[in-house]
């Protein structure tokens, strides 16, 4: 600019403006003119006050008048602009993640992540917890997801598995006499991909002995409060709200309710059946929500909502709506079957007032609740009720111990096989296992499950019984978990714990959309690292050494 060169010099701490004047330093001026984006330089000069200040950056009041300039390394023009509002698409940025990491938002995300890890370590250390590392090459254990396996070269035909979590090790640490354990640790689950999932992710994994559920909830509520205070400046003086699993399913349609807003689901089955509307009459369950102030939704808007609930992931057959007009009249998509008095009953049940819109779904109970929960969240979005700057933490407690699987005609553990039933429900083990409640709890923020844990079984006979219920044969139970049941024979203390998803927690507190934004080197939506190109094939020699023959790809 008229005999002056201005250089934006960026490092981890921000951007500083350097300036060279042609008149005072011809050599440096020439060199400065050759600089390109992302060149690495070394510079010396005098800090001076800027004539035109930039209030938007921390160093905007000053610039550095150069007396020395060296180019340490040149750079090719980067494939996208390295600035906060970049022009690079996500795939491109992931391919060049090291360039993406230079951008301020990503730097801040990782700095936040570091601060959170430090706070958590400090908090737990203060409470007498110690961090213990557990192995990554372990034995395959059923914890709900599929294991990633690693072939053993030395032991022909045998495999290690990568831990889905350090679950059994932390329990064995309790048997080993460490009464307060934690670990910020990588876990690996070979699951189908979803946008907010990573095949490897980080947990804050914790376990304590001589505790009951209340001790765990109090301890980790304390930890979460500390993090919320230090990171977000939010002081939650009261205990976090608690809700039973049953209430959560009934009122929110899922086990991780977003309680930033109401719009609770109401069961309308008892008042909506028996009026000749075959769809409702033939349904196991009819439920609705009340969208406040939405009676003036247009036909187009209600059609869009109908399409929304009919999406395959949601799977409702259709949507019934009732507009509670401002004049007090009720107009519905099923006027043929229901009188004004009938519809008024629905409105009353949903505590609706003139100006509101009732949205109603029907079908089998489980799917309909699930669809209502999605519809509720969608309406929450449309009405701006899900502000990212508002945080609504919650404990969900009293999960069922078991889950019946129609397809395989057997029970699965709702949490994992080491979770203890509630004392008062143990009697149901033989008669009515479906109704047994577990000492299991989840921690939820804003409709996202952030953590979950349980009080464990510590009696080898009860653990054996549990494996039996879960369809393990005695040999399977022994070969997979003999070590655990054996350990329980040597004076195992009562114990329990919890694990928090560290990536998710960071991403929620950070207000970022995806957990990828808070992971330095994440995998993409298809579980690939497109920067290093993984997974990838390995050489014939490697395969031979491992005694592995790769079958032809199935059609």
Chain residues binding ligand ASP by CB under 6 A are 165, 167, 452-454, 497-499
Token pair in block for residue 536: 């990838």
134/283 with CB nearer ligand ASP: 134
DSSP reduced 3-state for 208: strand
93/495 with CB nearer ligand ASP: 495
188/346 with CB nearer ligand ASP: 188
374/442 with CB nearer ligand ASP: 442
Q: How far is the CB of 456 from ligand ASP (least distance, A)?
A: 8
CB 35 within 8 A of CB 66: no
CB 355 within 8 A of CB 324: yes
Q: How far is the CB of 161 from ligand ASP (least distance, A)?
A: 15
End-to-end CA distance of the chain: 63
How far is it, in rounded angstroms, from Cα 256 to Cα 401?
A: 17
- The full DSSP string for 314-379 is T--S--EEEEE-TTS-EEETTTTT--HHHHHHHHHHTT--TT-EEEEEEESHHHHHHHHHHHHHHH
32/174 with CB nearer ligand ASP: 174
CB 250 within 8 A of CB 287: no
Q: How far is the CB of 249 from ligand ASP (least distance, A)?
A: 20
Q: How far is the CB of 453 from ligand ASP (least distance, A)?
A: 4
253/453 with CB nearer ligand ASP: 453
Question: Residue 186's beta-bridge partner residues?
Answer: 202
CB 70 within 8 A of CB 44: no
Q: How far is the CB of 480 from ligand ASP (least distance, A)?
A: 16
363/497 with CB nearer ligand ASP: 497
Q: How far is the CB of 167 from ligand ASP (least distance, A)?
A: 4
Residue 192 burial class via C-beta count within 10 angstroms: exposed 0-12, middle 13-18, buried 19 and up: exposed
DSSP conformation class of 255? S
Q: How far is the CB of 48 from ligand ASP (least distance, A)?
A: 56
372/498 with CB nearer ligand ASP: 498
**Largest Cα–Cα distance of the chain, in whole Å?**
94
Q: For residue 242, which phi and psi values (nearest 5 degrees)?
A: -125, 150
How far is it, in rounded angstroms, from Cα 367 to Cα 249?
A: 11
Q: How far is the CB of 522 from ligand ASP (least distance, A)?
A: 19
316/455 with CB nearer ligand ASP: 455
Q: Which of 352, 470, 465 is nearest to 404 (CA)?
A: 470
Q: How far is the CB of 159 from ligand ASP (least distance, A)?
A: 21
CB 191 within 8 A of CB 211: no
332/463 with CB nearer ligand ASP: 463
- The full DSSP string for 11-64 is ETTEEEEEEEETTT-HHHHHHHHT--TT-EEEEEEEEEE-SS--TTSTTTTEEE
Q: How far is the CB of 151 from ligand ASP (least distance, A)?
A: 25
Strands (E), 125-175: 130-131, 149-151, 159-161
CA angle in degrees (0–180, nearest 5) for 316-319-321: 155
433/452 with CB nearer ligand ASP: 452
Q: How far is the CB of 197 from ligand ASP (least distance, A)?
A: 14
């Amino acid at each position: 600019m008229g005999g002056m060169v201005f250089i934006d010099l960026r490092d981890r701490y921000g951007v500083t403006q350097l300036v060279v004047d042609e008149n005072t330093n011809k050599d440096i001026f020439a060199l400065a003119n050759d600089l390109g984006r992302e060149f690495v330089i070394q510079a010396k000069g005098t800090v001076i006050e800027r004539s035109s200040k930039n209030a938007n950056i921390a160093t905007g009041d000053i610039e550095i008048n150069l007396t020395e300039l060296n180019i340490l390394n040149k750079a090719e023009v980067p494939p996208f602009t390295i600035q906060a509002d970049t022009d690079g698409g996500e795939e491109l940025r992931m391919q060049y993640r090291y360039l993406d990491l230079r951008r301020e938002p990503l730097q801040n995300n990782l700095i936040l992540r570091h601060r959170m890890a430090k706070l958590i370590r400090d908090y737990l250390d203060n409470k007498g917890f110690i961090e213990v590392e557990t192995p990554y090459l372990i034995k395959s254990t059923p914890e709900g997801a599929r294991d990633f396996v690693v072939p053993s070269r030395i032991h022909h035909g045998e495999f290690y598995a990568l831990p889905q979590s350090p679950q059994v090790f932390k329990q064995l640490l309790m048997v080993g006499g460490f009464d307060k354990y934690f670990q910020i640790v990588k876990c690996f689950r070979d699951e189908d991909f979803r946008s907010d999932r990573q095949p490897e992710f980080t947990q804050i994994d914790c376990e304590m002995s001589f505790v009951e559920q209340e001790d765990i909830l109090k301890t980790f509520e304390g930890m979460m409060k500390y993090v919320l205070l230090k990171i977000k400046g939010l002081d939650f003086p009261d205990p976090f709200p608690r809700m039973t699993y049953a209430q959560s399913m009934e009122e929110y349609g899922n086990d991780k309710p977003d309680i930033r807003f109401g719009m609770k689901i109401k069961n309308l089955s008892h008042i909506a059946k028996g009026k000749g509307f075959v769809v409702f009459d033939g349904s196991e369950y009819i439920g609705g929500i009340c969208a406040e102030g939405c009676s003036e939704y247009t036909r187009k808007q209600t059609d869009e909502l109908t399409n929304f609930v009919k999406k395959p992931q949601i799977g409702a057959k259709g949507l019934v709506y009732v507009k509670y007009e401002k004049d007090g009249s009720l107009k519905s998509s099923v006027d043929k079957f229901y009188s004004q008095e009938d519809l008024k009953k629905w409105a009353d049940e949903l505590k609706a007032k003139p100006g509101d819109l009732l949205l109603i779904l029907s079908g089998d109970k489980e799917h309909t609740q699930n669809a209502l929960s999605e519809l509720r969240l969608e309406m929450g979005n449309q009405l701006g009720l899900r502000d990212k700057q508002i945080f609504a933490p919650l404990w969900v407690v009293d999960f069922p111990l078991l889950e019946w699987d129609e397809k395989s005609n057997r029970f699965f553990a709702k949490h994992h096989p080491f979770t203890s039933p509630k004392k008062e429900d143990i009697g149901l083990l033989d008669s009515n296992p479906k109704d047994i409640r577990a000492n299991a709890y989840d921690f939820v923020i804003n409709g996202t499950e952030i953590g979950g844990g349980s009080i464990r079984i510590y009696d080898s006979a009860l653990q054996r019984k549990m494996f039996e219920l879960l369809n393990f044969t005695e040999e399977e139970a022994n070969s997979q978990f003999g070590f655990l049941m054996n350990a329980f024979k040597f004076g195992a203390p009562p114990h329990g714990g919890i694990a928090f998803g560290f990536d998710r927690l960071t991403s929620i507190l950070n207000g970022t959309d995806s957990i990828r934004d808070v992971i330095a080197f994440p995998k993409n939506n298809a579980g690939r690292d497109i920067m290093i190109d993984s997974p990838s094939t390995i050489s014939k020699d490697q395969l031979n050494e491992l005694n592995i023959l790769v079958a032809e790809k199935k059609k």
